[in-house]
């Protein structure tokens, strides 16, 4: 036990995919998986280290069509650094071999094929003892503008695809988490996100992945002004109004939430490489960050009565689209780890 930081749950994970997402396509080169894991393993604050990492199942980090030996090698990479593997992201987008969840039969077949591969990969990691907790992350793999051509019809198609994905996950003993992000059609507003989850109606299998950077933009109604809780020109110095709105948002989404990304946002959108613009991930120490990370995490990790829910066996930091120079700086990960420890100190527990 660390006397200064006695809680040991939820486990603290870093995301490996910031080394890939938003990289390439004429921009900065990807950062290899080994490097991302080494940076994660090296971070330390007050004798506390990261417990694990979450993973994007795609090249150049992972070959989702790899053999069982390849999966075992990944498990060994984690063990050699004293890290667990948690949530994995299935590569369900058209550029990564998948297809739109509201597309034609061929596209939806590709989407489901990638979900199946992702669930197999996740199951094998679990069987190897390298992945004690976590879910398989998905989204609709389609943009907002195409979705707007037929909102209700497209929402129905996505729900049908997600129900089929749930059956695949159940066959593998896995759960799916749909990431709420303003760039995904049908998931681009908090109301549409809840509508989709209710339409799928498989709460035992499909839940919500909350990312604190992305859900902040739900409040402001980016891509869905009709569902805004706060005006886009909101004065963030009005803390009473902000937390009233934040409570409304989290009270609505928390019952569905099974996976949580701790993150910071300056209330702007950002995209790089082939990744569409979405909530900007900021450094934990960014002076322009609009979130009190520790306090806001509590709205996701505690119920309406203020009790710690213990729904998350781990929480993950998501730093997508940070510049490579920032990610190669050890101070970045120590600052992030410090913010994660503060969240666990405030809203965690001891086992």
DSSP 276: P
The 10s digit of each residue's pLDDT in 201-220 is: 999 999 999 999 999 999 99
CA 283 to chain CA centroid, Å, is 16
- For residue 275, is pLDDT > 60? no
The 10s digit of each residue's pLDDT in 237-261 is: 999 999 999 999 999 999 999 999 9
pLDDT of 1: 65
Label residue 274 by pLDDT band (50, 70, 90).
very low
**Helical (H) or strand (E) element with 231:** none
Beta bridge partners of 269: 279
Burial 217-252, CB ≥16 within 10 A → b, else e: bbbbbbbbeebbbbeeebeeeeeeebeebbeebbee
- Compute, in degrees rounded to 10, the torsion defined by CA atoms 214, 56, 113, 192: -10
Q: Could you tell me the domains of the chain? A: 11-347 (3.20.20.150)
Residue pair 37/109 in contact (Cβ under 8 Å)? The answer is no
Mean pLDDT of 323-333: 95
Instruction: Report the relative pairing of strands 314-317 and 278-279 from DSSP bridges.
Output: unpaired
Residue found by looking up tokens 């199951």 in the block: 123
- For residue 179, is pLDDT > 60? yes
Mean pLDDT of 94-104: 96
Q: Is 123 in a helix, a strand, or coil?
A: helix
Q: How far is 230 from 57, CA to CA, in rounded Å?
A: 36
Residue found by looking up tokens 């490097």 in the block: 35
Residue pair 317/340 in contact (Cβ under 8 Å)? The answer is yes
Q: How far is 124 from 68, CA to CA, in rounded Å?
A: 8
The 10s digit of each residue's pLDDT in 18-62 is: 999 878 777 899 999 999 999 999 999 999 999 999 999 999 999
Task: Please give the mean pLDDT across all residues of the chain.
Answer: 94
Question: What's phi and psi for 264, nearest 5 deg?
Answer: -125, 150
Q: How far is 337 from 30, CA to CA, in rounded Å?
A: 22
Q: Could you tell me which residues come within 8 angstroms of residue 134 by beta carbon, excluding any fewer than 6 positions away?
A: 54, 85, 86, 87, 88, 122, 259, 313, 314
User: Residue 206 half-sphere exposure, CB side, CA atoms within 13 Å?
Assistant: 28
Q: What is the DSSP string of 77-108?
A: HHHHTT-EEEEEE---SGGGT---TTS-HHHH
Q: Of the candidates 334, 336, 332, 331, which has an alpha carbon nearest to the alpha carbon of residue 315?
A: 336
Mean pLDDT of 188-198: 98
pLDDT of 312: 94
**pTM (predicted TM-score):** 0.95
Q: What is the DSSP string of 130-180?
A: S-SS--EEE---S-HHHHHTSHHHHHHHHHHHHHHHHHHHHHTT--EEEE-
Rg (CA), the chain: 19
């Amino acid at each position: 036990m660390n006397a200064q930081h006695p809680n040991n749950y939820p486990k603290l994970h870093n995301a490996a995919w910031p080394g890939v997402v938003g990289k390439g396509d004429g921009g900065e080169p990807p950062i290899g998986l080994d490097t991302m894991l080494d940076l994660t393993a090296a971070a330390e604050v007050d004798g506390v280290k990261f417990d694990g990492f979450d993973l994007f199942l795609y090249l150049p980090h992972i070959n989702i069509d790899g053999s069982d030996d390849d999966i075992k090698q990944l498990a060994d990479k984690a063990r050699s650094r004293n890290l667990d593997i948690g949530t994995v992201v299935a590569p369900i987008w058209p550029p990564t071999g998948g297809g739109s969840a509201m597309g034609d039969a061929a596209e939806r077949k590709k989407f489901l094929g990638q979900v199946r591969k992702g669930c197999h990969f996740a199951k094998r990691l679990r069987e190897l003892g390298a992945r004690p907790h976590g879910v398989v992350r998905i989204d609709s793999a389609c943009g907002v503008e195409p979705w707007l051509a037929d909102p209700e019809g497209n929402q129905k198609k996505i729900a049908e695809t997600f129900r089929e994905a749930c059956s695949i996950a159940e066959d593998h003993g896995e759960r799916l988490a749909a990431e709420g992000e303003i760039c995904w059609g049908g998931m681009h507003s908090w109301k549409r996100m809840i509508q989709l989850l209710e339409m799928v109606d498989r709460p035992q299998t499909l839940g919500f992945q909350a990312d604190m950077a992305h859900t902040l933009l739900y409040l402001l109604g980016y891509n869905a002004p009709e569902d805004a809780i706060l005006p886009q020109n909101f004065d963030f110095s009005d803390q009473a109004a902000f937390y009233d709105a934040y409570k409304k948002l989290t009270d609505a989404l928390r019952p569905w939430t099974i996976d949580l990304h701790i993150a910071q946002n300056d209330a702007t959108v950002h995209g790089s490489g082939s990744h569409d613009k979405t909530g900007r991930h900021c450094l934990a120490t960014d002076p322009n960050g609009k979130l009190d990370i520790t306090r806001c995490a509590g709205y996701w990790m505690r119920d309406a009565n203020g009790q710690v829910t213990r729904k998350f066996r781990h929480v993950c930091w998501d730093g997508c689209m940070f510049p490579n120079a920032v990610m190669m700086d050890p101070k970045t990960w120590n600052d992030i780890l410090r913010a994660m420890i503060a969240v666990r100190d405030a809203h965690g527990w001891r086992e």
